[in-house]
Amino acid sequence: MRRSIAVLALASTLSMGLFATTLASSGAASATGTDAPLAAYDASHAGGTLKLVANAAAGSLDPKINYTAQYWQLYQATYDGLLTFSYGDGKNTFNVVPDLAVALPKISNGGKTLTFTLRKGIKFSTGAAVTVADVKASFERIFKVSSPTAGSFYNGIVGADACLKAPASCKLDKGVVVNAATGSIVINLVSPDDAILSKLAVPHAVINPASAPAKDAGTTIIPTTGAYMFKSYDPNKSLIMVRNPYFKEWNHQAQPSGYPDEIDYSFGLTAEAQVTAVENNQANWMYDPVPADRLNELGTKYAAQVHVNPLTAMWYLPMNVNIAPFNNLKARQAVNYALDRAAMVKIFGGSQLAAPVCSFLPPNFPGHVDYCGYTKGATPAKPAKAWGSADLALAKKLVTESGTAGTAVGVVVSDDEVNKQMGEYVQSVLNAIGYKATLKPISGNIQFTYIQNTKNKVQISVTQWYQDYPAASDFLYVLLGCASFTPGSDSSINMAGYCNKALDAKMKAAILQGTTDPIGANKAWGAIDQAVMADAPVAVAFTPKNLDFISSSTKNYHFSLQYKMFVSQIQLK
Amino acid sequence: MKRRVPVSAEKSDSPGRIALRTLVSDKRSWIASIFLIFIAILAIFAPVYAHNIAHTDPFTSSLNATIHLHGKDLPVLEQSTGGLGLGVTPIGPTWNFSKYFLGSDNQGRDVFARLLYGGRNTLMIGSLAALLTIVISIIIGLVAGYWRGFIDSLLSRILDVIWAFPVYLLSISLSVVLLTSGLSLGPIHVGAGSLALPIIIIGLVYVPYVARPIRGQVLALREREFVRAAVGSGAKNSTIIFREILPNVFPSVLVFVPLMIALSMLTESALSFLSIGVQPPAASWGTIINDGLGLLYTRPIVAFAPGFMIVLTAVALNLLGDAVRDALDPKARLRGAL
């Protein structure tokens, strides 16, 4: 997903375990704590109003529609699925744990059947009991509201294909079989899916009342099961969360009791104003990235209030392999050689907030291999261990050899400060290697979909990818698989338009291998990564870190690698 | 004893001479003119400064550049080393003309060199847009005011429509549209990133503000005796317009020139500040303010320096405009004196 817009992914509990291990062993875990599970609830710290600030709201509050990191962070404290990602610190936050289900599912029928048992005694914030009928209706609602991941995460459920064709009349009678008497829920899949547990743990699979509208609820509040419920929502002003009066803790790692009595999220402050508000204790936490000119101030005067954590994400430049000049391999490789990744890290805020990379899978990610084929002295065939410096001379030579020198190239970027700076740098690099580059900054609200649509003839762009959950396929198959390229669509996440059928087959094989042999699958992904980057459909620039700035009165900060800061665990007393 | 000017000498002075003499004796016009000429010279010689003195390319990112200052090699963009080591800060003013006199921006570019180049673009766009406004306005004013009737009604309504939109709203809207696709009028195509685009847009949006007063003046002049005499004597329309009316409209046009340059310059700066005027890596004072917006806390001079230049230039142009008006319209001067 992007920082504000997410897309699909795949992962398995096993591969997540491996990922968590590598993350922890690399020392890249949360800078704020260990990999320990969440400590026991301490009621003496409960109370107060947690004040969050952001420049803008994140659209629909409907958990089956919203696909932004901004609200997924809140959903963990409000909604519950059968499964969820664990509370805690570091690697623990990538573990899938039972939530509304009594336990992790019993998997049978060669991985095609998952059997859950619904916990008893759980109520929605309206006081109504959660039933298996709500569970079935919630899965059908994924398709009825055309959830953005309906066709990617949940298309493997038996009956999903018909639901995708006719969402309004969606019935999953064979795909989600429930028994009210025993509380059992059986999910039948068309074929084994190594990532199904993760898919059931993300907010699009949360359980809503069966009476929830069969369309995007927008600003209408849907009852919750978690520690908090939404009290009011005005996207132009604020989002208020209060305690769910019917909530009783059932699994401390899945849905712990929260500390603040109320959580107020205010919208409309610029990032500069957010920093000042947090400095002055007028707000507890700010959502938007800290402006570059305030970073030094925070790092020196407010160091104790700053939390820097690793992200499994990347900033990269998709190059359209179907139109000039990047339909030429040498032209794409030239860009990869020319990019000074250290310079881009500087624009992002320096070496403490990002690290140069040129492999597709981020460091410490399942399948990642330390290599770089596009640094001085290296080639894709003879890669170096890591990126060292740009090779402008080789880049110019490749451009000349490609016969594309002098071509006009438009660089499409989001119009926020950091993206524009990145775009200006890329424009300068492209001009330096022989192109006639122009910068096209467009609103961040539309840039991500604009660069996906082939009708817009975007040649190169600057964008980001944040994992939905930890699996190599979330990066490679999602972003560069043939199935992700849909010409003429705003939802063609394979922005490069890259479709290498041989590599695509290898990716599919690696996904299948992951169900039985995750270690072997990750090795296969590592090889696929290198093979893809030899084709250079993208230029990967750097992997960013997450910076949270909290006020001096804000205590008990915990960071989820999946959902970032746990808002419900903040203590104000 | 006060020297008396001979009556014969007073009579021999033409209105133009009197106006020129008045203008030359006006201190405001001297101060403004000297400042504007100074700014123009700086802008013209921007490449000389960049290439021969500062030895820098103000249009290329230099994020890893270093400079030798006070016996030390310093990075132009310095990674913070205090506290958590967060952030990268561009070098501040060195006050040394040969290296980053006003410091660097976020891309490691020399702010002073960009300020000079920015002045070139801002002044050029402001001047050419004002010229375009005035030329179009004269044509519309003369045609509408002289022929009256249907042509006048048609042109006046078109002007009303343009006038109905606030200048900035209209220019922003046009810029946003044309910035993506450029402007194509028959065989003429202006590229999306061309400097001609802001010139055309700004030149057009101000037309009603100049054309309407000119039209009014032409309407009044058309009823004056000397024009009626020309008509009565059988003079052609073109002769009447160019020999009788235009010379009498010209003083008003002259008053508009500096004021329109100032307005056009301010509009260009606003558009460029909003990223819909001059496009990167080219610079204008507006784009440099935009560049400096993200550095207000650490390097405020990046935004303040071009802002200061805009203010000074606009004030100078307004002073010059006032002086020209006073010189060409003694009644206005007398009104001001009262």
Determine the length of chain A. Answer: 573
Shortest CB distance from B193 goes to which of A297, A308, A438?
A438
Q: Is the pLDDT of residue B313 over 90?
A: yes
Interface confidence, given as ipTM, is 0.84
Q: Which of A349, A427, A441 sits opposite B86 (nearest CB)?
A: A349
**What is the longest distance spanned by two Cα atoms in chain A?**
73
C-alpha distances in angstroms, A168 versus A65, A100, A132, A152, B30? 15, 26, 21, 18, 77
Lowest mean pLDDT among A3-7, A359-363, B130-134, B236-240: A3-7
- Ranked by mean pLDDT, the top range of A281-295, A328-342, A488-502 is A328-342
Would you call B63 and A352 a contact, using CB atoms and an 8 Å cutoff? no
Q: How far is CA A538 from CA A175, A427, A544, B144, in A?
A: 38, 16, 17, 59
Confidence label for A69 from pLDDT (cuts 50, 70 and 90)? confident
pLDDT tens digits, B106-123: 999 999 999 999 999 999
Backbone φ, ψ for residue A506 (5° rounding): -65, -40
Which one, of B50, B78, B52, lies nearest residue B281 by Cα? B50
Q: What is the rounded distance in angstroms from the CA atom of residue A148 to the CA atom of residue A132? A: 24
Mean per-residue pLDDT, A141-164: 91
As a whole number, mean pLDDT of residues B261-273 equals 96
B189 has a chain A CB within 8 A of its CB = no
Q: Which H or E run contains B241?
A: none
- Considering only CB atoms, A303 lies closest to which of B84, B192, B297, namely B84
Q: Which of B63, B106, B280 sits opposite A427 (nearest CB)?
A: B280
Whether residues B86 and A431 touch (CB distance < 8 A) is answered with no
Out of A346, A353, A440, name the one closest to residue B86 (CB). A353
Mind listing the pLDDT tens digit for each residue in A87-108? 998 888 989 999 999 999 999 9
Dihedral over Cα of A74, A78, A82, A83: its sign: positive
Which residue type sits at A531?
A
Name the nearest CA neighbour of A347 among B73, B104, B110: B104
Q: How far apart are alpha carbons B107 and A343 in whole angstroms?
A: 9
Q: What is the pLDDT of residues A347-404, one digit of tens each?
A: 999 999 999 999 999 988 889 999 999 999 999 999 999 999 999 999 999 999 999 9
pTM of the predicted protein model = 0.84
* CA-CA-CA-CA torsion sign (A234, A237, A243, A245): negative
Q: Are strands A49-54 and A285-286 parallel, antiparallel or unpaired?
A: parallel
Amino acid B333: pLDDT: 53
Q: Do B234 and B135 form a contact (C-beta atoms < 8 A)? A: no
> How far out from the chain centre does Cα A203 lie?
12
> Where residue A29 falls among pLDDT bands split at 50, 70, 90?
very low
Average pLDDT taken over every residue of chain B: 90
In 3D, which of A78, A46, A66 has the Cα closest to residue A240? A78
B4: number of Cβ within 10 Å = 6
* Residue A113 backbone class (left: φ over 0; alpha: ψ -120 to 50; beta: rest): beta
- Over the stretch A209-258, which tens digit does the pLDDT of each residue have? 999 999 999 999 999 999 999 999 999 999 999 999 999 999 999 999 99
Exposure of A388 by Cβ count < 10 A (0-12 exposed, 13-18 middle, 19+ buried)? Answer: middle
Distance CA B113, CA B90 (A): 15
- Could you say which residues from 121 to 180 on chain B have a Cβ atom under 8 Å away from some Cβ of chain A? 180
Q: How many Cβ contacts (< 8 angstroms) between chains A and B?
A: 113
CA nearest to A292 within chain B: B87
- As a 3-state breakdown, chain B gives helix, strand, coil percent values, each rounded to 5, of 65, 5, 25
Banded model confidence at residue A1, pLDDT cuts 50, 70, 90:
low
| Alpha-carbon distances of A280 from A45, A546, A553, B82, rounded to whole Å | 22, 22, 10, 22
Q: Closest Cα to residue A546, out of A308, A384, A255, A356? A: A308
The pLDDT of residue A9 is above 80: no
pLDDT band, residue B11 (cuts 50/70/90) = low
pLDDT confidence band for A443 (50 / 70 / 90): confident
**Contact: B86, A298; criterion CB under 8 Å:** yes
Cis before A325 (ω within 30):
yes
Query: Residues of B37-61 as b/e, b for ≥16 C-beta within 10 angstroms?
Result: eebbebbeebeebbeeebebbbbbb
CA–CA distance, B250 with A312 (Å, rounded to integer): 68
What are the residues of chain A with a beta carbon less than 8 Å away from any beta carbon of chain B?
Answer: 272, 291-301, 303, 306, 308, 340, 342-343, 346-347, 349-353, 415, 417, 420-421, 424-425, 427-429, 431-432, 438-441, 547
H-run or E-run covering B168: helix B167-181
Nearest Cα of chain A lies from the Cα of B82 at a distance, in angstroms, of: 6
Interface residue B300 vs chain A (CB under 8 A):
no
Residue spans of alpha helices (H) in A173-313: 196-201, 271-279, 292-301
For A548, counting Cβ atoms within 10 Å of its Cβ (0-12 exposed, 13-18 middle, 19+ buried), the class is: buried
Radius of gyration of chain A (CA): 23
Residues 6+ apart with CB under 8 A from A500: A482, A532, A535
